[in-house]
A and B are shown apart, each in its own frame.
Chain A
Amino acid sequence: AMDTDLSSQDRKDLDKFIKFFALKTVQVIVQARLGEKICTRSSSSPTGSDWFNLAIKDIPEVTHEAKKALAGQLPAVGRSMCVEISLKTSEGDSMELEIWCLEMNEKCDKEIKVSYTVYNRLSLLLKSLLAITRVTPAYRLSRKQGHEYVILYRIYFGEVQLSGLGEGFQTVRVGTVGTPLGTITLSCAYRINLAFMSTRQFERTPPIMGIIIDHFVDRPYPSSSPMHPCNYSSRTTGEDNGATYPSVEDSQEVCTTSFSTSPPSQCVFTVTKAHFQTPPPVVMDTLKVPMMGLAFSHQLSSSRLSYQPAALGVGSADMGYPVIFAGGLNAAHPHQLIVPGKEGGIPPVLSQPAHGTQADHERMAMCTPLDGALYSAATPSSSEDTETVSNSSEGKSGSPHDLLETIFVRKVGAFVNKPINQVTMASLDIPFAMFAPKNVELEDNDPMVNPPDSPDVESPLQGSLHSEGSSGSSTGNTHDDFVMVDFKPAFSKDDILPMDLGTFYREFQNPPQLSSLSIDIGAQSMAEDLDSLPEKLAVHEKNVREFDAFVETLQ
């Protein structure tokens, strides 16, 4: 009876509006948790392809996940679309931070004009969503991600599940829009019990340049960490979490598959073959789909990690994200970045290492060349949508690549002189070296934080010098906790000294402690000094006349 009041054209329009509203909602939320600042351009000429008159980019993988979750349905009464944002530490602990809910209730507004008022109000609601996504606690956490934790998202459709948010979670309503079919409500329930996850805890100093923490060669991953099911359907059909979990190998396979089925317009990931067989740590097993900017977290566990801060001299923890994703890769030439617009994909999401208006101005200039293209779904008037883009990805089966390549575009920082659309190579410039089994260990192994104790048995200097000679830099060494791989720091070119900064650093990273600083020796000499004092005094007293005479000669 509800439907007969609505013309069929209006009904069609409304369904389309709701569908694309849901997709855009997911994009806004996920993009706001990538850990980067978002920037899109205004365009005075209507391009006819920006839904709700807003420039919101479409990350294809995200659209794909959203469509998968919706499975052709629309939010309706009792069937809500939820985007769950959670945090996962390098140790494998995870915690739900927020649930964004797009719900429909039965309160209908029959009088409202679909193609006009509803559309404009949905646009307003998206603007509110843009504002609110920057304001919940998870935003600041997500901006600091990368060193010790990542932010993951998961989309599900059905009943809202808030139990994972802990006690006392809060709700913020983003807004509502009445339609002839019901009232659309968008809200966010967020955890406030972040006691052990305060943002301050994660304001660590940026990782030291060039150090690779290779924890996965010698130390197998703790097996107690839970694995999460890969498929969403087990959630939406209400099966409990005890449902069959994919085995370790299976999930590994699925991970691989999902990555290699990524459309060519996305980044692909490199895992060195040797490590592919190592048991995947929990991070890899969490098949909640990670944020776009961090999608390769799945692979980080089994690859050598190296990173370089984008800009030297950068102090705050916020600067830890030297890498952004670039879209538009040509499958035939994986190292070549295609200008977006030709093949679809993600236009670079630009971010700057520095805060402040200076950075903003720089960023605006950079938005210019590549930001002209738009990726939203079809125009309101057309019936096609981005199926073509996502279909190209679904068509690809898991290719038997043992090597997937990681390609990054360096965030253009002050000291990086690469143009924005040049791809830096698969030298594994991955920024997140935080997947150490334990945070504490990370710091403990860090010679800058804990200088090696003055040794009585084996000096670290001896150890490192020996290992320097014995092993190549990339194979690692059981004596060494640090392995240097392909480090290309800025300013490192020096024709005079054939040694590059990385090698230099490595050679001299473990100098022996000054003996005077060593407590034992110091204490010992102090005791000696004290003991010898009376003797010395006696000698001086004996020679007092000589001293006096000497002093007189000076006067």
Chain B
Amino acid sequence: MNCRSEVLEVSVEGRQIEEAMLAVLHTVLLHRSTGKFHYKKEGTYSIGTVGTQDVDCDFIDFTYARVSSEELDRALRKAVGEFKDALRNSGSDGIGQISLEFYQKKKSRWPFSDECIPWEVWTIKVNVVNLVSEQERQICREKVGEKLCEKLINIVEVMNRHEYLPKMPTQSEVDNVFDTSLKDVQPYLYKISYQITDSLGSSVTTTMRRLIKDTLAL
């Protein structure tokens, strides 16, 4: 099975990085999260309810809907915060990318460790711009807002293709497909990583941080 890959590019001001990333990541995860599964005796299951809430951006003229889950929001903010710090501190031209990868676990027999097989990867390439005048900043607020609107339309288009999704798992397999660690929602297993490129185009700080949500597998 091939892993499908989607790439989005945005140009933002430094202070807009976090909100822009959160808007994109949350929109993807909205589509890739279900309610909590509750398995019943006969092998059937029922699904909990996913709530949503609107988030207004402070530095961008933009509002997006995200899953109502504080845990999920915290996890994303942490990842995005690290990405932003890495971008700012790298001393580079301010080009980097952050990736959200959905994967399935495939249990292997001892002594081999479990495999992680990605089935969908979303990559956001970020180009940080520096603006001097207040007027430029105001225009940037609006422009980035419009860009994000376009990006979200693109995301929804991809989601609508109804391409490969992991099969709904049995109770024993559910942790190989979904992240069941959150208390209110159940996203597909995912990991976030990022990469900063310097002005020469080579990957100086290849900081591959893996925020693995299923570290229990250790």
Does residue A135 face the partner (Cβ distance < 8 Å to B)? yes
Which residues of A lie under 8 Å from residue B53 when comparing CB positions?
37-40, 360, 363-364, 367
Contact A43 B54 (CB under 8 A): no
Q: Mark A19-60, 1 if CB is under 8 A from B, else 0.
A: 000000000000000000111111111111010011100000
Which residues of A lie under 8 Å from residue B99 when comparing CB positions?
none
Contact A55 B30 (CB under 8 A): no
Which residues of B lie under 8 Å from residue A143 when comparing CB positions?
63
Knowing A42-B184, A355-B56, the reply to whether A139 touches B50 (Cβ < 8 A) is no
Bound CA span A353–B61, Å: 16
In this complex, how many residues of chain B approach chain A with their Cβ under 8 Å: the count is: 41
Contact A135 B153 (CB under 8 A): yes
| B8 vs chain A, min Cβ distance (A) | 14
| A549 vs chain B, min Cβ distance (A) | 57
Contact A42 B51 (CB under 8 A): yes
Does residue A466 face the partner (Cβ distance < 8 Å to B)? no
Which residues of B lie under 8 Å from residue A360 when comparing CB positions?
53, 55
Return the chain A residue nearest B63 by Cβ: A134
Which residues of B lie under 8 Å from residue A125 when comparing CB positions?
160
Contact B64 A54 (CB under 8 A): no
| B136 vs chain A, min Cβ distance (A) | 16
Does residue A418 face the partner (Cβ distance < 8 Å to B)? no
Contact A38 B153 (CB under 8 A): no
Contact B49 A53 (CB under 8 A): yes
Contact B49 A43 (CB under 8 A): yes
Contact B65 A131 (CB under 8 A): yes
Does residue A94 face the partner (Cβ distance < 8 Å to B)? no
Contact B183 A44 (CB under 8 A): yes
B:4-40 near A, CB below 8 Å: 27, 30-31, 34-36, 38
| B83 vs chain A, min Cβ distance (A) | 17
CB contact between B48 and one of A45, A357, A359 (< 8 Å): that residue:
A45
Knowing A37-B63, A42-B51, A54-B50, the reply to whether A128 touches B69 (Cβ < 8 A) is no
Contact B185 A175 (CB under 8 A): no
Knowing A127-B31, A128-B159, A131-B27, the reply to whether A43 touches B184 (Cβ < 8 A) is yes
| B80 vs chain A, min Cβ distance (A) | 13
Contact A55 B63 (CB under 8 A): no
Contact B35 A46 (CB under 8 A): yes
On B, residues with C-beta under 8 Å from A are 27, 30-31, 34-36, 38, 46-58, 61, 63-65, 67-70, 148-149, 152-153, 155-157, 159-160, 162, 183-185
